[in-house]
Chain A
């Protein structure tokens, strides 16, 4: 069994964070990260990217009042 290279590790990050790797590969990723500052930074930056995406401000439009009223009316009397 060979050690992972950095260019292989960066392609496994999403599977790694999702816990979708087999046990053996997960261990190789963890071992690599212990010894590699570059890949540790890369994984941190992917995590940061995810939290940044998740803190996007809420969509700037809600339903307009007209649309909301129309939908509530449709709910009261659904088309047959």
Chain B
């Protein structure tokens, strides 16, 4: 691991990059390339092409830094270039990545309606059975396995949802930053995030329910 040194302020970084200060470029290169690779992987099909996307994006940054107007943070601007580079690459690979809403994708329930009471039930619209509690993170001896299930769940998400949840929850960008990077509305960003989180939660629930069942079996043995 290269050291993740504390980065200077945006104003200082931009100034130094424009003056071709190689140390400043090395700082952002080392600080951001890993996260950029993760985001690129959420858009293009292979790790190898994601790595190329990261490099192409940095080349575009090198060429474009003189034109950067500072209307967003430097990192947001770099990530916007990254996302656009990745989208072009994905299209060349025959994947269609569109950020506009897809009919039917955005309005169906995110939790199986069968889990709630119907019109004939005593409490329509309320949980028939509450979601089972999960083991606390401290109790959870299999954190690596949980992470592996999250990775699988991410891979199974529709493209747009995967990109949004990767930026928001994996990389930790704010709602405003993600809207700005992807150039989508705040509402659209939230709809995609909501569906993605509900799907990943559902996968974790399946995993925890299945492993609780296994635990009971294990404990029952003498």
* Interface membership of chain A positions 1-42, coded 1 if the CB is closer than 8 angstroms to chain B and 0 otherwise: 000011110110111001010000000000000001111011
- The reply to whether B200 and A49 form a contact with Cβ atoms under 8 Å apart is yes
- The reply to whether A48 and B150 form a contact with Cβ atoms under 8 Å apart is no
A54-B172, A59-B34, A67-B51 as given contacts; A45 in contact with B205, CB under 8 Å? yes
- The reply to whether A74 and B126 form a contact with Cβ atoms under 8 Å apart is no
Q: What's the minimum C-beta distance from B13 to chain A, rounded to whole angstroms?
A: 13
B197 at the interface (CB under 8 A from A): yes
**In the complex, which range does the number of interface residues on chain B fall in?**
35 or more
- The reply to whether A13 and B194 form a contact with Cβ atoms under 8 Å apart is yes
**In the complex, which range does the number of interface residues on chain A fall in?**
35 or more
B68 at the interface (CB under 8 A from A): no
- The reply to whether A68 and B124 form a contact with Cβ atoms under 8 Å apart is no
- The reply to whether B29 and A38 form a contact with Cβ atoms under 8 Å apart is no
Q: Which residues of A contact B35 (CB under 8 A)?
A: 59
Q: What's the minimum C-beta distance from A80 to chain B, rounded to whole angstroms?
A: 10
The listed residue (B34, B51, B165) touching A58 by CB distance below 8 A is B34
Query: Chain A residue with minimal CB distance to B115?
Result: A7
- The reply to whether B51 and A61 form a contact with Cβ atoms under 8 Å apart is yes
B97 at the interface (CB under 8 A from A): no
* Interface membership of chain B positions 166-203, coded 1 if the CB is closer than 8 angstroms to chain A and 0 otherwise: 00011010010000000000100010011001101100
B22 at the interface (CB under 8 A from A): yes
The listed residue (B29, B116, B198, B204) touching A72 by CB distance below 8 A is B29
- What are 11 sample pairs from A and B whose C-beta atoms fall under 8 A apart? A10-B110, A53-B150, A58-B34, A61-B34, A61-B37, A62-B1, A63-B30, A68-B29, A71-B59, A72-B25, A79-B63
